[in-house]
A = this chain, B = another copy of it.
Amino acid sequence: MGKQMTEMLKGTLEGIVLAILSLRSAYGYEITARLREMGFSGIAEGTVYALLVRVERRGLVDVEKHPSEKGPPRKVYSLNATGQEYLAEFWETWRFLTGRLEQLHEGGR
Contacts and interface: CB of A to CB of B under 8 A. Distances in A.
Interface of A: 2, 4-12, 14-16, 19-20, 22-23, 38-40, 89-91, 93-94, 96-98, 100-101, 103-105, 107-108
A108 B98 CA distance: 19
A12 B6 CA distance: 11
A107 B38 CA distance: 13
Nearest to A2: B93
Q: Residue among A38, A89, A97 with the most chain B CB within 10 A?
A: A97
25 contacts: A2-B93, A4-B11, A4-B89, A5-B93, A7-B10, A8-B10, A8-B11, A8-B12, A8-B93, A8-B94, A9-B11, A12-B97, A12-B101, A15-B101, A16-B101, A16-B104, A19-B104, A20-B104, A22-B108, A23-B107, A38-B100, A39-B96, A39-B100, A40-B100, A91-B105
